Structure formats: C-alpha cells, structure tokens
Structure 1
Amino acid sequence: MRNVFFLLLIFTSFTFAQYLDPFLQTKVNKLSKTGSEEILPLILSGDNSLADELIKNGFTVHTDLGNKATVRIPRSSLDKLLNIKGLHKVTLGAKLNPLNSETVTYQNVDAAYAKGYTGTNVIAGVIDTGIDFYHPMFIDADGNTRILYIWDQTVTSGTKPQGYNYGAEYTQSQINQDLNSGSPHSVVPQRDTNGHGTHVAGTFAGLDLEIAPPDTLHGGAKTANIIFVKTTMSQSDILDGISYIFDKAEALGKPCVINISLGSQAGPHDGTDDFTAAADALTGPGKVIVRSAGNDGRSYVHYYAENVTSSDAIEFGYTSLLSLWIEAGDNVGSVSLSWNHGSINNVVKGSHSSSGNVTLYLDPASASNNGQIAAWVVIDDSTGISQDDFTLTLNSLSDANSNGTIKRHAWSEEHAFYNPYGAFSQGTLYDYPHFPYTLSNGSCGDKVIVVGAFVSRHYWTSINSQPGQSWFSPGTGENGGITYFSSIGPTADGRNKPDIIAGGRLVLSAKSKDAASYNSQYYIPPSPYDEDYYYLSYFFVRNKSSLWSEKLVFPVLKYL
C-alpha cells in the first residue's frame, strides 16, 4: 500500500527533481488504481555518470549513451529509481506503429549492382514485428538461413542476449537446426503473425533463389546477411535493438544499415526528444539508420498557427494522443480541454488533470530539450468518446520573446484536426490534398536517413484477375511519382526531410505464413508468387531497398 500511495503522490505534481513524461505518468496512474505490476521500458536522461550510478544501485543498463541510458524495471522499483543521483528525466514515450520486383527496378539498383554493391559483407538490420525465417527470400543456395541472429524482445523465456535481461536470442546455427528439424519452430519459436516485418525484410534484403527465371524477385541488399529484432514497439526497447544490431555487426567487423519502418506523431518533430536524439547518437561510421518518413501526407495530423493572440481554441476529433508545442520564449497561462462528455479546466504549467480516461498535461519549458512549453492530451481508452468533438484551449497566450509571433505546432496520432495546416494540391494526377509537417516524429532526427514513398505500381494483377485484366488504383499517381500518402517535411525546426524516396505503393514482397490477415485475393499475386508473396498497400509499406539505389548508395558508403 505504501508504494501505491507514494506513486500517487509523485504524479500529483512536478515538485520532484526528475521529470516523468506524460506516457509514464498515465501508465503508472492506471497501474496504481489496480495495484498491478508491470515491466516499464524506460529511457533515462541525466548526468554523464548516470549509467555508473544506476549500476551501483543494482539496475541493469542496456544501452549507455553517457547522459542517457535504457533500463527495464518493474513498477514497484520506480521509487528506488527516482532516488538515483544525477537522474533528471524518465521517459516511457509513445509506442511506435508499423508504418521488390518493380520497386527495386525504379530505384536503379542495377546500376549499383554493376559497381558491386549488392550487400555483400554488409549487415542488414531490421527492427519490426518479426520475420518468417522459413520464407525462401531468407534462405541461401545451400538451404541455410541468411539470418545471423534473431532477438525476440516480446517473450519472457529463452536465452537472453548478452548484456540484456529480457527477450530471447536465436543464432544462425539454431535457425538452421529448426529449418532441418522437420518440426517448424521447435527450436526457434519466433513467428511474424503481423506480417509487416517479413515484408519489410524481403524488400530490404530478400532474394528468392527458387523463382524461375533466377534473380527476378529480390530486395535491394540481396546478398547481405540479416540481423532481426522483433520488438515490443516501446522506444526504450527499440534503442536497445539498435545497439544490439550495431554491436553484433561491429563484432563481425562489418558495416551495418538498420531499417526502422515504425513511427508515431508524438513529440516535437525537431529531433530533440530523448528517443530521436539517442537514435542519432548511436549512428556513425559504419552505422547507418534508415527510417520511413511516414504515411500521413494526406492526413489531418498537424495544426499550426503563429498569430499573436491571447487565446487559441483548437478543434479536433478523437485521437489517442496529441502534443502541442509553443515557440521557445513565449508563454501560456493554462490549458483547458472540453469534449461532448466532459471537460478539464485550467491546467497550469507543471501539472496535469484527468477526467475519466482523458488526461491533460502542461509541461514547463524546462521539461523539454528544446526549451518549449508543451501540452499533451493522452486518452488511454476510447470507450464512449470515440465520436466526440474535442477543443483544446490555450489560455493567456503571450508573445513573451517579443518577436511578433507565437508559433504553435500540434500533432495528433490519428487523422483528427478539423483545421489542419497548409493543405495543397499534388497536381492533376492526384485527387487528394497533401500536408507539410507530417513526418513521423522519429524521422526528424538529424543523422538518420529518411525515406519517402513513390508509386511502385498503380496497375497490378492478382489471383482473381481475369485473363488480360489488371486492377487499377485511380487517383494515386503514375508509376515512379510521389505517392499521395507519403509524409513530407519540413521538420519543426525547418530542415528539409525526407532525404530520398523509395517504392511504397503496392509493393510485392515476402508474405509471412503466420500472418492470417494477408488473405485478400486482390493483393495475392498470380502464380508462381501466390504462396509466398503479397502486395501491401500504403497503410503498411515504408522505406526499404532505397539503400542500394544509384542515387543513395554513394552517400551511404561514405558512412560505411
């Protein structure tokens, strides 16, 4: 009972030295009501000696970046953690979401292959939903796996990777043993029931040697070895996945490129949040991260205004989370939130208030790495309010830095704002508006390569096509053109992103045998691809084999 009372006391105010992000506060408040225990994957920020202090006090540090570290602790250990000397900030963060034949052709990989860039002696790392290691795209000519390691972060039993106290690691030898066992998954139980990770890995580094004629269906880095992390989608665990893959590649003496086709709109979109900054810090020579730009180019996920006013009422529909950032140096007195079934009034800086499953936070400028005041709306259950109209009101706004503007950026996780910012036409080929500032928050880092999407195909054939018939997707652009859904920049601090584009519309790639949802006959290709392949539409596909295009291969090589 003491722990529950202590935790409730912590989350009543920000009077403690450490800042706890809204996602952690919401999670612990919810757990405190039920008395439930749960493992919390956390990103910690503090002094440069932070990791030493954590280890001295009995905590296991997974990723150490000097003034940042990742840990996993039970809820009951949070009070002990908050007593660590030099700890300033504790972040749970928003969970990320899962954001090739003609695709590869459009990316000029043949020109790169002609120069010898096929992926040989390079590690292709993937962090995603899992991988179907039985798929022929990941098996070499001798029948052995091309996958060197799989780390399944989502399980609680099995051999943990060295340096990490969770998940299960499977080696190339164990994967080969499973392939030859006659009893699938008896040695390596990891499966990809979602399907996204298998599709991504196939487009990035797959090569199907069973297809005739040979070398007609492959990803970009077709001769690379693969290291795969099946992630929990938590920000801390994804950082651990990056560290794990880079460390394995370094031990093998090989350069590495990691693909992360996952994202969220939560954050300042300027690269300063702890998750994005930590990912940047993990890159370097021989260590490259490629991230998808996102699929929100036509979605109402961004609001912006800069007029000087004393108040601003921002209207939106249901969304699981929303964050708003006020220009550094400017001020707001309080924030309020109203919706059809409730309201929260006058939350001041450094506090929060809840009504039902809705919580409104107002963080002071000192809580962020960019010096901006931030408001957060977090809704952990949509029951009864999924059709409500919401209004976030900023009270007593002031142009405290006297520059003639009060810039206000806001992002929602779902298509929510009633008055999104900056819609413009994509031209006569498209029937949809396009919106700037729609990049995924994690794609706003300074050192990651960010990839937008072009139309891989808008005509395609499937197993239910009649002879001579092709399916057509109207209003989505011509092959090779920018897709209508691809997220675009700039970042909130004005940098141009994405860096390049790659195929992202109706991409044909590996289908996991365990992904039951990949069953629409419209997206199953005709024989001989119908058993093992699937077209994915925009709501899943992200960046992949762009790493090996003629236009990108040389910029990447300067890091490798």
Structure 2
Amino acid sequence: MDGETCRNKILSEDYWDFLIPNFRMDDLELVPAERSCHQEMDFGYRAVYIDSSILDPLTIREYRYNSIPNCYALLDMETLNIAGISQVQNYPTLQLMGRNVMIGFIDTGIDYRNPVFKNIDGSTRIAGIWDQTIQDGTPPGGLDYGSEYTEDRINEALRTENPLDIVPSMDINGHGTFLASVAAGSADVPNRFLGAAPESTIAVVKLKPAKSYLKDFYAIRSDAVCFQENDIMLGLKYLNNLARERNMPLVMCIALGTNFGGHNGTSLLSGMLDTYSYILNRSVVIGTGNEAAKRHHFYHMLEGINAETSAEIRVGEGVQGFVAELWTMLPNVVTISIISPSGERTRQISIRQGDRYDLRFVFEKTEVSVEYRLLLENNDSQLIFLRFQNPVPGIWQINVEPVQIAEGDFHIWLPIQEFLSGEVYFLESNPDTTLTEPGTSRSAMTVAYYNGRDNGVDINSGRGYTRDGLVKPDFAAPGVMVTGAGLNGQFVTKSGSSVSAGITAGAVALLTEWLQNEPGARGVNSSQIRSIILLGVNQRPLMEYPNKEWGYGTLDLYRALDTLRRI
C-alpha cells in the first residue's frame, strides 16, 4: 500500500486504531488488506488502522483491553543547585553540559525559534522534529504520516526573515517548549536562566490529537488535550532511530500520563519503555503525574468472603460522562452493584468472562455500561470497566462484593483531572498508588516532585507504590515554581510533574556524558543510570526510605558522582 493511502487511513475518523504485538498478528487474518493499513513500531509492535464500518462496536468485550489505544494527557507543570546539577556543570574537572547526548521529547512540539534552543552561532541544537499534525511535508523514513524537519531544514528556516514559511511546526500549547527548556535550554543571562543540559542535542515529536471516537469511548471531555498511545509509541521509534543515525546516547523524557490501566507496568506503552530501558545508551525518565490530591483513587481491603464495601463517587453539575476502572489481583474475584443518587439499585451483576451489561437508571436517565475481564493479556488481574453516560449530579455508589478472596484488596481509579468535564471524585479517596501510567514502568526512572524552597513534597505529586508493590517513584526532583521558556520568547514559571521530569532528563544526560568519557566506557542503560543516581540521593533524618512520596530520596547528581568516586 502506498504511503499516501495509508496516511489518509491513519488520519481518518472512520478508521479505528489498534495496537497489535507480533505474537497476535493472527488477529488480522480476516481483515481485508484494502480496508486497513499499519505502521511498524520497534520490538515487533504494530499500529493497525481498520475501517470501522466492518467492525463491531468498540468495547473491551469485542477487542482486547490493551489493543485499544490508551489516551494520555499532559502532566502539568535555584532548582539546578538543589538537584546538584550546577555543581557538575561548573566543577573544573567535570564541566558536564550534556555534550554528544540526545534528549528526546514527545509532547506538544517546540518553539524552535527560541534562542534557548540555539548554539552561540545562531544555529539550531535540534536534530529533528517529527510533527504528526502537518501532512504536506515528508514523513520520517518508515512512517506514513506527519512531516519531518531535519537539522539542516531548521537551520535554513532560521536564516530567513520568516522561519515558519520553511518549517511551519509550532508549539501552540507551550508545554513541550517549557519541558525542553528546563531539560536542555541554553543560557539566557539577562533572565538568569540555564537548562540542566545546555549543550545536549534535542529531538522532538509533536503529537497529533487523539481521534474523537477514542475520546468518546473513554468519556473524555471534547476539548481536552490528549494523545493516543500508538502515536506516542511511534514517536519513541522516531527518537530511537534519530539517535541511532547519529550514534548518540538517548534520554527519552515522558511528561504524559493517564489513570487508565492496571498501574502495574503491564500496559503496552509501559512494556515498550521497559524494553528501551534495557538497551545500552538508552534511558527513560517519566513523571509521576499530579493526581495525589485529586481524590480519583479508591482502595479497600475486603476482610472476608461475606464482606462488602461501597465506593461513593460525588458527581457535580454538567458532567457529560466518565469512566471508572476497578482492578484486583487474581485469585481475588469481585462483583459489583450500583446505586444511583435517587436510591435506584441494580442487582448484583453476574460475572461472565467478556460479558457487557448496559444498565439504564430510569429516574436519572443515566446509562452505565459494565464489562468484566478476568483473563487479561499479560496481566494476572480482574478488570471491571464502567462507563457512565450523562450521570445525574449527586452521590453514586459502587458496591463491591467478593466472589472469592485471597488478599482481598482492590483499587478503583477515575480519570485524571484533565479528562473530566466537571466535578467527579471519591468521598473516601486514597492518595497512594496515584502515580499515572506509564510511571509504573519497571525499569524506567519515575520521578516525583517537591518544592525546593521548603523541601516539602508537593501535595499533588503522584504517589506509589505500584499496584503490585514495586517501589515507585524512584526518587524526587524539584518541580515547584521553576522558570522555563514560554511562548513568544517569554520566560514563565510553572510547577508540576513535567518540570521534575525535564530536570531529571537533563541530569541523566549529564551523567551519561560523564560515563561516555570514562576509560573503557561501553555504555549504560536506564537501570544502571538509576542505580548511580540512587547512590547519591539525599534522605531526611528520621524518615523511612523508600517511601511512597519520595521513593529513595531526592536527586543530587553531584553527590551521586562524588559517592561513585569514593566507592
């Protein structure tokens, strides 16, 4: 199939996107070739685009849970001194600046015209931009959509009076520009600004918005900024290829997140990030998200086979819909019933693998669909997937009863704040296990954020551990009231998970530079970089580590190198 035809299918709302690993290619045997196309990802994954007119309705009963792309939102936004970065930039025998290391960003794009992304001679520090939203240019090799802008092309644009005439890629949101600046921005002396790795090479993927049918499936508000899992995974391929072409180490910075998924590292994106983390000279940094204080997580331990409990959800005015996911580890099995604000109660919903129940509440005129999954791929868990449409305001109750019990614990997650069209939260919420996906990735570095001025962890910083007890976050980095590049050449101050992820990505680039220059260096992977950072984390007296807020402590790059030197 020619690239132009596939591009049209990739972009069409009439074609649905699916994620297919190489061991499930037989799923496509009955799909006519002329009604589909695909894009190859790394490690044997494919993004497949199929004409929706030949498909059954989109449910997890009809399609595997992990095959339906997840939707991810942006993680909201004297720091370098606190993280031990200034010291390694300025120490006479170190002077680490990220030279010959690439930092890759998959986000809202970048304002490539900003001076903080240029060399002293005015040339760009950006190796390439893949803008998935522009379709009149040339896509990267092996891909059929978007437009790639190379370093030469960007430099050509910068030499003209109107650079956007040649490279029209822009960051309308500003999130990607800010993220790249705190990680890799060059010095701006008048504004007293310096990024963590100011001489690193930058690579950028600007994600296209998620398709409307997926936003409808996940009941995401129509104006929410969100991106599809398959576009992110293809972006990772682009960054990896660009770094390979230049024979450079690559730090992947992920400042995106979602509450959808099992929170145990089993999503396809988490698995792919794990695989990149195992490769020499590839490192992955992920933010924990900003969900700890949003009241979107419920946790309970059922004490016996006759125990039951109720998760109460407050729904405000104007909420068009939302999704909730209940997860428990097998051999625990639970069932539910639902009580509406008026007191209308469903029967206990029978468990049948793969069944879907469409419930209608007469007085509220609300519809709730419920799907059970017991045999999830690569996941030893039960999932109950609930989708509320036009929920009436008030208190909705999800009554949970055990069918069989081992440990007896279960979790329910509501969508992240950015996806909701109004007030939706648990009356009795739990702030733990609120780090967003893909922050549960096992081998990547997951970073919490704190206020460097008072050394307090931010109330919103996503907390661990993962649902299966893996220690996450790994450590914390500054992320409150940090200055970075905004739009139109301005500098702005932001807080949030993205900030700490950007600072950490820059710190990892500096550490990678140092390791590359060591005698006999053969490269290191993400797990090894993580271990070196953990050697130097700062820990508070009388506080037990690791813990769910700070992980093993706070990032201190200078202390890590000093500890490594003394060992």
TM-score interval, normalised by the smaller of the two chains: 0.7 to 0.9
Pairwise CA distance, 1:51: 10
* Map of 2:448 onto structure 1: 452
Identity %: 26
Contact 2:325–2:383, Cα closer than 8 Å, also in 1:
yes
For residues 142 and 345 of structure 2, the distance between their equivalents in structure 1, rounded to whole angstroms, comes to 46
For residues 554 and 443 of structure 1, the distance between their equivalents in structure 2, rounded to whole angstroms, comes to 22
Contact 1:273–1:368, Cα closer than 8 Å, also in 2:
no
For residues 89 and 95 of structure 1, the distance between their equivalents in structure 2, rounded to whole angstroms, comes to 13
For residues 14 and 387 of structure 2, the distance between their equivalents in structure 1, rounded to whole angstroms, comes to 19
1:287 aligned to 2:262? no
1:409 to 404, 408, 411: 411
Task: Decide which moves more: 409-418 or 44-53.
Answer: 44-53
SS at match of 1:444: coil
Distance 1:552 1:251, change over 3 A: closer
1:70 aligned to 2:47? yes
* Map of 1:391 onto structure 2: 397
Question: Deviation string for 1:38-60 (max 9, x for gaps)?
Answer: 34332124627669979995732
Distance 1:394 1:152, change over 3 A: same
2:309 to 309, 312, 317: 312
1:60 aligned to 2:38? yes
1:124 to 92, 99, 103: 103
1:495 to 450, 470, 480: 470
Contact 1:235–1:275, Cα closer than 8 Å, also in 2:
yes
The one-letter code sitting in structure 1 at the alignment partner of 2:525 is Y
Contact 2:107–2:206, Cα closer than 8 Å, also in 1:
yes
> Where in structure 2 are the equivalents of 1:192-207 lying within 5 Å?
192-207=171-186
Q: Give TM-score scaled by structure 1 length.
A: 0.74
Pairwise CA distance, 1:154: 2.6
Task: Decide which moves more: 186-195 or 325-334.
Answer: 325-334
Distance 1:369 1:344, change over 3 A: farther
For residues 359 and 456 of structure 1, the distance between their equivalents in structure 2, rounded to whole angstroms, comes to 44
Contact 2:450–2:457, Cα closer than 8 Å, also in 1:
yes
Q: Give TM-score scaled by structure 2 length.
A: 0.73
Task: Decide which moves more: 147-156 or 546-555.
Answer: 546-555
> Which segments of 5 or more consecutive residues in structure 1 lack a partner in the other structure?
1-35, 422-434, 458-477, 514-530
For residues 330 and 493 of structure 1, the distance between their equivalents in structure 2, rounded to whole angstroms, comes to 13
SS at match of 2:186: coil
> Where in structure 2 are the equivalents of 1:36-435 lying within 5 Å?
37-45=13-21, 47=23, 57=33, 59-66=37-44, 68-76=45-53, 78=55, 91-99=67-75, 102-113=78-89, 114=91, 115-209=94-188, 211-212=189-190, 216-232=192-208, 233-283=227-277, 284-307=279-302, 308=304, 309-318=306-315, 320-333=322-335, 335-336=337-338, 338-339=340-341, 346=349, 348-349=351-352, 350-354=354-358, 355=360, 358-379=367-388, 385=392, 387-395=393-401, 397-400=402-405, 403=406, 405-413=407-415, 414=417, 416-421=425-430, 435=431
For residues 171 and 269 of structure 1, the distance between their equivalents in structure 2, rounded to whole angstroms, comes to 37
> Which segments of 5 or more consecutive residues in structure 2 lack a partner in the other structure?
1-11, 209-226, 316-320, 418-423, 516-523, 527-567
For residues 502 and 393 of structure 1, the distance between their equivalents in structure 2, rounded to whole angstroms, comes to 39
Pairwise CA distance, 1:539: 7.8
* More helix, by proportion: 2
Contact 1:547–1:556, Cα closer than 8 Å, also in 2:
no
Contact 2:110–2:204, Cα closer than 8 Å, also in 1:
yes
Pairwise CA distance, 1:446: 0.4
The one-letter code sitting in structure 2 at the alignment partner of 1:132 is D
Task: Decide which moves more: 534-543 or 315-324.
Answer: 534-543
1:536 aligned to 2:494? yes
Distance 1:224 1:337, change over 3 A: farther
Pairwise CA distance, 1:487: 1.2
Distance 1:547 1:352, change over 3 A: same
For residues 540 and 274 of structure 1, the distance between their equivalents in structure 2, rounded to whole angstroms, comes to 22
Question: Deviation string for 1:503-527 (max 9, x for gaps)?
Answer: 21111000022xxxxxxxxxxxxxx
Contact 1:293–1:486, Cα closer than 8 Å, also in 2:
yes
1:441 to 437, 453, 465: 437
Aligned length: 457
Task: Decide which moves more: 308-317 or 133-142.
Answer: 308-317
Pairwise CA distance, 1:96: 0.8
Task: Decide which moves more: 409-418 or 447-456.
Answer: 409-418
Contact 2:39–2:46, Cα closer than 8 Å, also in 1:
yes
Pairwise CA distance, 1:88: 6.4
For residues 53 and 248 of structure 1, the distance between their equivalents in structure 2, rounded to whole angstroms, comes to 33
Contact 2:289–2:497, Cα closer than 8 Å, also in 1:
no
For residues 540 and 289 of structure 1, the distance between their equivalents in structure 2, rounded to whole angstroms, comes to 14
The one-letter code sitting in structure 1 at the alignment partner of 2:169 is Q
The one-letter code sitting in structure 1 at the alignment partner of 2:399 is T
Distance 1:182 1:72, change over 3 A: farther
Question: Deviation string for 1:267-307 (max 9, x for gaps)?
Answer: 11110122312222233211111000111222212111112
Question: Deviation string for 1:491-548 (max 9, x for gaps)?
Answer: 11111111121121111000022xxxxxxxxxxxxxxxxx520011338644212245
1:559 to 518, 522, 525: 525
SS at match of 2:196: coil
Question: Deviation string for 1:325-362 (max 9, x for gaps)?
Answer: 12211223455463569876636432223457754333
Task: Indicate the RMSD between aligned Cα atoms, in angstroms.
Answer: 3.3
